[in-house]
Amino acid sequence: MTIRTCLPGMGALWVSALLVACGGGGGSGSGSGSTSAPAAAPPYTLTPSTAQASFVAGWPTTIAMSAKQTVAFTGLVYVQVSADAAVVESPIAVSTNGDGTFAIAAGSQDSTYLFAFEAASGTQDFAAQVASQWDHYFAPTILGGLVYSDGGTYGGLYAFDTTTGANQFFAHAGQYDGWTPAVDADHAYAYIGGALCIFDNQTGALVGSIAEPTYSWNGYTTAGAPALGGANTVYAGNLHDKSANSLVAFDTSSYTVRWSIHGAYSGNPAYADGVLFAADSSPFALEAYNETDGAKLWTWTPPSGNSSFVSDVLVTNNLVFVSTDANTFAIDRGTHLPVWSHAAAGSLALSANGILYIKGSYGIVAINLR
């Protein structure tokens, strides 16, 4: 097995080792090679996209989203960020915080910031500078007064105070983007370069790592996020190659791989009540696995007219939601059969108010599940 690490001013350095390094310990300040933060963030222009809403009583068909406008709409926000003539047009993920704020990570190579906004008014609370190299971001993770995000010139994990934007720590890690950590009461978990990296969630100190034996490198974008399971269990995988990859159950007490399943998983799985739910495109089916040993409990195959999965899996007390390239389905967890479907495809998000959002290529569909 090999290990990948990066040094300032160098490309990737490959050496023989038994497991994949997750970087050094944590510390305060910016990522390696970053410039000093300016006194104030440069001006940014937020250009709202247009959200399509349907099946929500009293809502207009089209909602114009604005960072400075209060609208009766929550969920995924896609904006364009302009900074010093460098424009990032890729979708920007949003995480909501329990105190009514939300955070995004966005920017260009020399001016990347994690922004915090008031959800009701759009007022910017802070802009915390992070180092980067044209990274692509998943939604930051918020827990216990801290917001966590990937970043760093040569890769790593940031944590900022959700109120002030103060840098809690930066922990060095492999130079990969397109991931976000899972966080519990004690640790932050990041799947980077074929290993589950376990950090202290207050200091950023590397507690340990668990290598994935079947890992095969296929790019510097992870395109996934760990999912917390039951006690001492974290699920993760390298989802960059949608045609062939694996989901892995990591045991964080013994620092071993409990089991792994090979398939073609297009998005992150979801966990509930001892069962892992995953959307596999080969064979084409929604699959339910036993947490203990990875045994397949049941499957459901979409009907003709659907050819691939395009979303993460969402799970509630009674339903599993997943989107194909043509439709979004709600599968009953008890009967393993669809209870309804809607002809819209895309990324899925479910609000605390019971609104399911389907973010497609040209708009957002909102469905009131209650």
What is each CA distance from 336 to 175, 270, 281, 310, 313, in whole angstroms?
40, 15, 18, 20, 14
Q: How confident is residue 160, by pLDDT bands cut at 50, 70 and 90?
A: very high
Q: Which two tokens stand for residue 301?
A: 């195959």
Most confident of 65-69, 97-101, 157-161: 157-161
Q: How confident is residue 42, by pLDDT bands cut at 50, 70 and 90?
A: very low
**Contact (CB, 8 A) for 212 and 246:** yes
Q: Where in the chain is the domain with CATH 2.40.128.630?
A: 2-46+66-263, 264-370
Most confident of 13-22, 79-88, 100-109, 354-363: 354-363
- Biggest distance spanned by C-alpha atoms of the chain: 61
Fold of 2-46+66-263: Lipocalin (2.40.128)
* Predicted pLDDT of residue 213: 87
Q: How confident is residue 31, by pLDDT bands cut at 50, 70 and 90?
A: low
Span 121-139, pLDDT tens digits: 888 888 888 888 877 888 8
Residue 88 has pLDDT above 90, yes or no: no
The whole-number average pLDDT for the span 94-119 is: 66
Span 221-231, pLDDT tens digits: 888 899 999 99
**Contact (CB, 8 A) for 153 and 31:** yes
The whole-number average pLDDT for the span 13-42 is: 41
Count of all residues that appear for the chain in the document: 370
Q: How confident is residue 108, by pLDDT bands cut at 50, 70 and 90?
A: low
Span 271-290, pLDDT tens digits: 999 999 999 998 999 999 99
* Predicted pLDDT of residue 29: 58
Residue 35 has pLDDT above 80, yes or no: no
Q: In whole angstroms, what is the distance from residue 51 CA to residue 71 CA?
A: 11
The whole-number average pLDDT for the span 142-159 is: 92
The structure's pTM equals 0.76
Can you say whether residue 29 is alpha, beta or left, with left for phi > 0 and alpha for psi between -120 and 50 degrees?
left
The residues near 308 (Cβ < 8 Å, ≥ 6 apart) are 266, 281, 284, 324, 325
What percent of the chain is modeled with pLDDT above 90? 48
Q: What share of the chain is helix, strand, coil (3-state, %, to 5)?
A: 0, 50, 50
* Predicted pLDDT of residue 114: 85
Span 165-199, pLDDT tens digits: 999 999 998 889 889 999 999 999 999 989 999 99
Fold of 264-370: Lipocalin (2.40.128)
CA atoms in the 13 A half-sphere facing the CB of 180: 20
Residue 366 has pLDDT above 70, yes or no: yes
Burial class (CB in 10 A: 0-12, 13-18, 19+), 334: exposed
Q: In whole angstroms, what is the distance from residue 48 CA to residue 343 CA?
A: 25
Q: In whole angstroms, what is the distance from residue 18 CA to residue 89 CA?
A: 39
* Chain mean pLDDT for the chain: 76
Q: How confident is residue 66, by pLDDT bands cut at 50, 70 and 90?
A: very low
**Contact (CB, 8 A) for 267 and 313:** yes
